[in-house]
Chain A
């Protein structure tokens, strides 16, 4: 477990209704990668405009139990933020299916709100086959994103391997999302490194679990600030992330009085 300094970002009330900005029409270039905005102003500002396409982003589960949240967050980035409807390739090790479950098309649709044009699931026997398949997938320029799920420490995925993957990603402009579950952060060629953990959702009526909510910690960024953290909620209808802090009650709510400080509406007089 990494101890991360938590810095609450400024609450920006205008975030809620900000439509997602259109992508700038510049070709992916080594000097200035395409930036895919996430929809949260403070997060995009920290990233310099959004997640860089054609780069590697490492998404760590803060604890092994947070694997599903990290997988969900990576799927949202792949299908919602970076993919733009283009095909998605999800690479896993064969053993991962038994320990972490089968990816459901319906669940992916329910999570993201839309499915990529084509989803391919690759099951590799071992780490070398997984990395090689990921490298091959990155050379296919038509993909929206490649999601490589690496469980456990995986010593094969070292700095050299990640540099090799980065070279392939830079050439085609396809983003690689490295989903790491049960691994310690190690030096790599990734552009950003995140730790994701599940966060309590905003309850719906009758105390039902609400929209997917994540705690993000930006552990490292190649060129930019790091050590920041956010609590994000995914808005499936608008297909953007929202700062969940916006919805938290500022003052604790007394049990016997209404939460809002507004006028008390009296019942009309029956007599």
Chain B
């Protein structure tokens, strides 16, 4: 059951069959419903998620017909002209649709009629199943016309309860009494007028194949075929105003083996030379080189990921090197293709004050350059955070003058270092709110006391005591970072 805020009250906007059996109805306040049935399962209504789900369902229904119309908020129209015979007949198709939706956990009401408007009205208002379409339409209540509340009420007051009652009157009288909308509604139900509809656009996947009469094993021939495929792909991309983000090349060998090569671009592109360079890079990075054997029968180029790319003003021929941002993007995708996408990284600030969790290194291929939102360092201060951080921190043995005090000397990597200068402690508490049971005393994790220290040779370290003496009897010390 779903509820939403309407006016000043939370009201029910949708409910399932079980809730309807309990006597609940749309428009009832949530408080009333809870008073009757305290153990109701109620969720907040999310119209955006519903719209998205409806669109996905519509895309899914393209398996039944290429002409799918969304009827928001909760309807889908399928134009089955010319496709019903593929499934047997109309009834068999309707059964298939209902089975498919039932498998998705949906309850559907389906009706078949001559027009989209009639089918919609029947599905919503007529008792199912519909045997005689014309009679069923005549028997529909006037509410099925989709008029506004006032006109519907006016029809009912005039004693016109069904669509048939209304249709029996002359159109001019109805238009004069109830408005033009009533006449249009009648015409749309009867099929005299077509309601405009906007079917879902289905983008055919970009898939280009070149078959060879004879198996081809020569590298130059394959390169030439790839160039030809790329030309076709680029033309298709340009027509759609798209650029490819990922490209997949499949080489079908005559003995049935398939070699698949995938490359990704850091920015949408339709530059054939650039894509070809990426494929060359990918082939060069293969652990075992491509073995053409007795040759390839066909090669296929697919573009699984596209992104909008507007046409750019072509530069003058002698303007020097191209766009600097695209030069960097090319470097990123070239290195990502050769070394792997996870090896070229950008640093992204994270919402945490635990030093090792304050940043994440994410693949540069998928994360475009964005300025890091970090506080500017205060003037006149030395660097307070180390350039290099150890994760996990390295344990050190520390001798301190007093147990709670700063370190006097410490042993790191089997070397004894004397602390000549220090600053601290900078106390960083554990993120108790992220731990289970962290709100209980002692359950939140250990506090860290950080010291910036400098040894006798001038090397600067960031070391911390893990735990206060009140938290732990013998806190351990760790070296966490190195300053320049």
Residue of A107, A119, A211 with highest tally of chain B CB at under 10 A: A107
C-alpha gap A107/B391 in the complex (Å): 15
Whether the Cβ atoms of B385 and A110 lie closer than 8 Å is yes
Query: Is A225 part of the binding interface, using a Cβ–Cβ cutoff of 8 Å?
Result: no
C-alpha gap A47/B369 in the complex (Å): 35
Query: Is B249 part of the binding interface, using a Cβ–Cβ cutoff of 8 Å?
Result: no
Proximity string of chain B (334-362) to chain A, C-beta cutoff 8 Å, 1 when within and 0 when not: 11001100011111010000010011010
Smallest CB–CB gap between B240 and chain A, Å? 29
C-alpha gap A203/B347 in the complex (Å): 32
Whether the Cβ atoms of B359 and A105 lie closer than 8 Å is yes
C-alpha gap A211/B377 in the complex (Å): 13
Within 8 A of A (CB), among B452-467: 452-454, 456-460
C-alpha gap A201/B325 in the complex (Å): 40
Query: Is B421 part of the binding interface, using a Cβ–Cβ cutoff of 8 Å?
Result: yes
Within 8 A of B (CB), among A90-134: 94, 100-111, 113, 115, 117-125, 129, 132-133
Whether the Cβ atoms of A122 and B372 lie closer than 8 Å is no
Which single residue of chain B is at the shortest CB-CB distance from A63?
B457
Whether the Cβ atoms of A208 and B343 lie closer than 8 Å is no
Interface range, B side: 35 or more
Q: Which residues of B contact A117 (CB under 8 A)?
A: 369, 371
Q: A75-B387, A106-B358, A143-B328 are in contact. Are A208 and B421 (CB under 8 A)?
A: yes
Interface-lining segment among A9-17, A31-39, A66-74, A255-263: A66-74
C-alpha gap A224/B137 in the complex (Å): 98
C-alpha gap A139/B377 in the complex (Å): 33
C-alpha gap A225/B345 in the complex (Å): 39
Whether the Cβ atoms of B483 and A72 lie closer than 8 Å is yes
Smallest CB–CB gap between A220 and chain B, Å? 23
Proximity string of chain A (134-151) to chain B, C-beta cutoff 8 Å, 1 when within and 0 when not: 001101111100000000
Query: Is A250 part of the binding interface, using a Cβ–Cβ cutoff of 8 Å?
Result: no
C-alpha gap A111/B381 in the complex (Å): 10
Whether the Cβ atoms of B382 and A208 lie closer than 8 Å is yes
Query: Is B289 part of the binding interface, using a Cβ–Cβ cutoff of 8 Å?
Result: no
C-alpha gap A71/B332 in the complex (Å): 23
Smallest CB–CB gap between A217 and chain B, Å? 15
Query: Is A207 part of the binding interface, using a Cβ–Cβ cutoff of 8 Å?
Result: yes
Q: Which residue of the partner chain, among B338, B344, B358, B484, contacts A111 with CB atoms under 8 Å?
A: B484
Whether the Cβ atoms of B458 and A213 lie closer than 8 Å is yes
Q: Which residues of A contact B387 (CB under 8 A)?
A: 68, 71-72, 75, 103-104, 107-108, 111
Q: Which residues of B contact A108 (CB under 8 A)?
A: 387
Smallest CB–CB gap between B282 and chain A, Å? 14
Smallest CB–CB gap between A31 and chain B, Å? 20
Residue count of chain A within 8 Å CB distance of chain B: 66
C-alpha gap A73/B372 in the complex (Å): 22
Smallest CB–CB gap between B455 and chain A, Å? 8
Which single residue of chain B is at the shortest CB-CB distance from A140?
B331
Proximity string of chain A (12-51) to chain B, C-beta cutoff 8 Å, 1 when within and 0 when not: 0000000000000000000000000000000000000000
Whether the Cβ atoms of B388 and A209 lie closer than 8 Å is no
Whether the Cβ atoms of A124 and B385 lie closer than 8 Å is no
Which single residue of chain B is at the shortest CB-CB distance from A86?
B324
Whether the Cβ atoms of A201 and B454 lie closer than 8 Å is yes
Whether the Cβ atoms of A124 and B339 lie closer than 8 Å is yes
Query: Is B473 part of the binding interface, using a Cβ–Cβ cutoff of 8 Å?
Result: no
Q: Which residue of the partner chain, among A123, A207, A237, contacts B380 with CB atoms under 8 Å?
A: A237
Whether the Cβ atoms of A211 and B382 lie closer than 8 Å is yes
Within 8 A of A (CB), among B437-484: 452-454, 456-460, 481-484
Q: Which residue of the partner chain, among B328, B385, B422, contacts A106 with CB atoms under 8 Å?
A: B385
Within 8 A of B (CB), among A168-222: 197-201, 203-204, 206-215
Q: Which residue of the partner chain, among A68, A110, A118, A210, contacts B459 with CB atoms under 8 Å?
A: A68
Q: Which residues of B contact A119 (CB under 8 A)?
A: 346-347
Proximity string of chain B (196-239) to chain A, C-beta cutoff 8 Å, 1 when within and 0 when not: 00000000000000000000000000000000000000000000
Whether the Cβ atoms of A103 and B388 lie closer than 8 Å is yes
Smallest CB–CB gap between A34 and chain B, Å? 17
Whether the Cβ atoms of A210 and B484 lie closer than 8 Å is no
Q: Which residues of A contact B339 (CB under 8 A)?
A: 122-125, 129, 133
C-alpha gap A106/B359 in the complex (Å): 8
Which single residue of chain A is at the shortest CB-CB distance from B368?
A118
C-alpha gap A206/B424 in the complex (Å): 10
Smallest CB–CB gap between B387 and chain A, Å? 4
A contact set with B: CB distance below 8 Å: 65-69, 71-73, 75-76, 87, 89, 94, 100-111, 113, 115, 117-125, 129, 132-133, 136-137, 139-143, 197-201, 203-204, 206-215, 234, 236-237
17 sample A-B contacts, Cβ–Cβ < 8 Å, listed by A number: A66-B459, A69-B459, A72-B483, A75-B387, A104-B385, A105-B359, A105-B374, A107-B386, A111-B484, A120-B331, A124-B343, A140-B328, A140-B330, A142-B324, A208-B421, A209-B422, A209-B452
In order of increasing CB-CB distance, the 7 nearest A-B pairs are A72-B484, A101-B388, A68-B482, A208-B423, A142-B324, A110-B383, A200-B458
Known: A107-B483, A201-B454. 6 other contacts (CB 8 A): A65-B457, A73-B484, A87-B328, A103-B388, A104-B385, A107-B387
